[in-house]
Structure formats: structure tokens, C-alpha cells
């Protein structure tokens, strides 16, 4: 095999200085893809030059043409374990996300957001929603991979949520800092306390003392942790309940049996789904992936299947493109549309060979 076949691709990243040495021939990743093997078909590409922004915008256009809407992408690199920069939704995303939204032409009243994120700040999600909902009549979320925790909260603010058979949302139970500064799922703290309380009450009814080990565990929990866990959980539930009621359920007029849906029923269903998504006992783990089928069967949350609207191929090609990009570059977060491009790089990886 030629030595050149083992060289890594040369990738043109916007705002990154180009080398003066001659570049390999530019190829199109999208044109190189094979349906059903989108990502695998890119792995054979070695020592090639790729214009990333051109490829991304082509993939966005494919989705936009099918949907008939403007499309923006807010993606975190959940693929490359070597990237150590923060991939979470956080305050530093506020300005670029605002700029990304503001560059959409004023006459555009419908927007699709392609979202991939491991989660982050619910407070920042609320700021994102505050920028979007007054600006657009409808907001839809396209989830090609994971939108966990705060990402799930964000998706719940949409009129429509579109998922492939490889997509996941997650429980919305927030993570709060413990006394050591480590972040732990709020609901796991509350579930533990409820379990110890239940055991203690059962022991007392039998005339026994509560378990000594349980008492020691309780002494190790800072009361502030409990307060933070309760308040953060209530906040997550409140956001999702309000978002579902105000946006996703606003056009829900009739039940499947034809009976009209009342305002109280909308509110009750929104509250039920929000509490289910925050229920640690139901999902067992903060990192639990919830498929579109589970979202319906457990929560009765209606998810649009990408196959039913002829969008599946375009989404899978888009995500294969980014999966390849995330594996081969130090990019850890992207904000991109036809009108805007910001790609953040993990500087610790840029100079690594």
C-alpha cells in the first residue's frame, strides 16, 4: 500500500490558516457516500482535501429543500473522546447562537434546528428559547443522534420533534454539584433519600431502629445538595411542562377517538410527560437513551419519524458527514447555517501530530 494512503485528510476549516504547501485534490464527502454505509464509505478516503463548509451547506440545503424551511445546526462533538473542551450547552454559546438566529432573513417564519448535544444548562436553554419563539411561528427540531438532558428540554420547546431510528433523547433530571464539586444527578439524590426514609419508617413500625449505615449516608449529604436537587428538578419540569403546553400541544385539537381536547387536558398531559422525563426511578440512569418508540409508549409523546416525511436519507448523510468531521478534527462545537459559520476548536489538539 502506498504511504500516501495512510496520511490523514487535509480538511479546510473556516478561519483556520491554510498551509503554503500544495494541497491534495479536493473531494466531496457527500458524493463519496454509499446509502446505508454513509460513514463507512468515508473511511477509505486518505490524503484528500475536503472543503468542510461547502459540504456542510450542501447537506443543510438537502434538508432545507425537503422541509421548505430555513435550517440551522447547533452541534457538539459527542464522537471524539480526545476532545476535552466543554461540549455542554452553556453561557458561552449564547452570543454565537443569537447571531446564528439573527442572520436568518426576517421574512422567514419557520425554522428547523438540527441539534446534537450531551446536555448542559437548563437556564441557557431557556435563553435560547426566548430568542426563538418570539421570532418564528414554528420551530422544529431534527435530532440525528443524541439530544440529552438539557438538550431534551430544548427539543420540547419545538412544535415538532423529528427523530431517526438512531436518535435518542434523555431524562431531564438535572445535575447539581455536591460538596466535593462533582456534578451528580439531582434525582438520584432525592431517590436515595426517599429510599432511606421508606426503610427507616418500616423499621420504626416494627419497633426497630433505622439502619445505622443509612443514617451515616444521610449525614454525608449536605442539606444544600438536597435543596439544589429539589429546586433544579422543579425548574426542569416547569420548563418542559410550559414548552409542551405552549408550543407542541398548541395545535392538539382532538383525541384519537375524535373528542375535543380541553385546555386542562393539554396542561395535564404536559405535566405528566415532564414529570415522567424527570423520574429517576423510571429511567434508572441520567444517561439513559430514550428512543422515539419509548417516548411514545412510555410518555405518549408524539415524535415524527424521519422516514414518514422522506427526510431519513438526508439526515443520515448529514450526520455521517459530521461524524467523520468530528473524528478527524479538533472541532468540538459548531453553529452553522447558509448565512453563518462558527466552529470552535479544542486548541490542545490542534498542534498534536
Q: Say what the pLDDT of residue 337 is.
A: 96
| CA atoms of 129 and 121, how far apart (whole Å) | 13
Mean pLDDT, to the nearest integer, of 97-119?
Answer: 96
Predicted confidence at residue 178, as pLDDT, reads 65
- What is the predicted pLDDT for the residue at 184? 65
Q: What is the mean pLDDT of residues 213-223?
A: 76
Q: How confident is the model at residue 4 (pLDDT cuts 50, 70, 90)?
A: very low
Average pLDDT over residues 219-235: 78
Please state, in angstroms and as integers, the Cα–Cα distance from residue 207 to each residue in 195, 201, 204, 324, following that order.
19, 10, 5, 63
In total, the chain counts a number of residues equal to: 353
Residue that is written with C-alpha cell 426542569 in the block: 236
Tell me: the pLDDT tens digits for 72-102? 999 999 999 999 999 999 999 999 999 999 9
pLDDT tens-digit series, residues 139-150 = 999 999 999 999
**241: number of CA atoms within 13 Å, CB side?**
17
The pLDDT of residue 245: 97
Q: Which of 62-71, 186-195, 211-220 has the lowest mean pLDDT?
A: 186-195
How buried is 184 (Cβ within 10 angstroms: 0-12 exposed, 13-18 middle, 19+ buried)?
Answer: middle
- Which range of 128-132, 178-182, 199-203, 225-229 scores highest in mean pLDDT? It is 128-132
The pLDDT assigned to 71 comes to 97
- Residue closest to 281 by CA, chosen among 186, 153, 188: 188
Dist. CA 221–CA 223, nearest whole Å: 6
SS3 193: helix
Q: Are 312 and 164 in contact (CB under 8 A)?
A: yes
Please give the pLDDT value at position 1.
42
**Quick one: which H or E segment has residue 138?**
strand 138-143
pLDDT surpasses 60 at 53: yes
Q: Which domains are seen in the chain, by residue range? A: 3-165+289-350 (3.90.226), 171-288 (no CATH)
Contact 147, 155 (CB under 8 A): yes
Q: What average pLDDT does the chain have?
A: 88
Average confidence (pLDDT) over 34-51: 89
Question: What is the grid cell recorded at 126?
Answer: 431557556
DSSP 8-state class, residue 25: P
Cell 425537503, residue located: 66
Q: What is the model's pLDDT at position 203?
A: 81
What residues contact residue 60 under an 8 Å CB cut-off, 6+ apart? 71, 73, 114, 318, 336, 337, 338
* Global confidence as pTM: 0.86
Q: Check pLDDT > 70 for residue 125.
A: yes
| Residue 226: φ, ψ to 5° | -65, -45
The whole-angstrom separation of Cα 215 and Cα 82 is 41
Per-residue pLDDT of 131-176, as tens digits, reads: 999 999 999 999 999 999 999 999 999 999 999 999 999 999 876 6
C-alpha cell at 155: 427539543
Residue 275: pLDDT over 80: yes
- Is the pLDDT at 3 greater than 50, yes or no? no
Mean per-residue pLDDT, 103-112: 95
Amino acid at each position: 500500500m502506498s504511504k500516501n494512503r495512510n496520511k490523514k485528510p487535509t480538511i479546510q476549516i473556516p478561519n483556520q490558516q491554510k498551509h503554503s504547501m500544495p494541497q491534495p485534490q479536493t473531494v466531496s464527502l457527500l458524493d463519496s457516500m454509499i446509502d446505508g454505509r454513509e460513514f463507512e464509505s468515508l473511511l477509505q478516503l486518505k490524503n484528500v482535501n475536503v472543503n468542510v463548509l461547502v459540504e456542510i451547506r450542501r447537506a443543510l440545503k438537502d434538508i432545507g429543500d425537503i422541509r421548505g424551511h430555513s435550517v440551522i445546526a447547533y452541534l457538539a462533538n459527542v464522537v471524539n473522546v480526545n476532545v476535552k473542551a466543554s461540549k455542554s450547552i452553556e453561557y458561552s454559546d449564547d452570543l454565537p447562537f443569537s447571531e446564528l438566529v439573527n442572520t436568518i432573513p426576517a421574512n422567514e417564519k419557520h425554522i428547523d434546528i438540527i441539534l446534537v448535544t450531551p446536555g448542559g444548562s437548563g437556564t441557557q436553554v431557556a435563553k435560547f428559547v426566548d430568542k426563538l419563539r418570539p421570532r418564528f411561528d414554528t420551530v422544529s427540531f431534527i435530532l440525528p443522534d443524541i439530544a440529552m438532558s438539557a438538550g431534551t428540554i430544548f427539543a420540547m420547546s419545538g412544535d415538532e420533534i423529528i427523530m431517526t431510528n438512531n436518535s435518542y433523547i434523555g431524562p431531564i433530571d438535572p445535575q447539581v454539584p455536591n460538596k466535593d464539586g462533582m456534578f451528580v444527578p439531582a434525582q438520584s439524590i432525592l431517590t436515595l433519600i426517599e429510599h432511606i426514609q421508606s426503610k427507616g419508617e418500616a423499621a420504626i413500625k416494627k419497633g426497630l431502629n433505622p439502619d445505622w449505615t443509612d443514617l451515616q449516608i444521610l449525614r454525608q449529604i449536605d442539606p444544600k445538595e438536597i435543596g439544589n436537587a429539589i429546586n433544579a428538578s422543579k425548574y426542569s419540569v416547569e420548563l418542559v411542562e410550559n414548552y409542551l403546553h405552549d408550543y407542541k400541544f398548541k395545535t392538539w385539537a382532538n383525541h384519537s377517538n375524535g373528542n375535543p381536547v380541553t385546555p386542562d387536558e393539554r396542561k395535564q398531559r404536559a405535566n405528566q410527560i415532564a414529570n415522567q422525563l424527570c423520574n429517576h426511578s423510571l429511567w434508572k440512569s441520567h444517561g439513559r437513551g430514550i428512543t422515539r418508540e419509548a417516548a411514545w409508549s412510555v410518555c405518549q409523546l408524539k415524535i415524527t419519524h424521519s422516514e414518514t416525511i422522506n427526510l431519513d436519507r438526508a439526515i443520515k448523510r448529514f450526520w455521517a458527514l459530521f461524524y467523520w468531521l468530528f473524528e478527524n478534527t479538533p472541532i468540538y462545537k459548531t453553529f452553522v447555517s447558509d448565512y453563518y459559520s462558527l466552529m470552535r476548536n479544542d486548541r490542545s489538539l490542534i498542534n498534536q501530530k
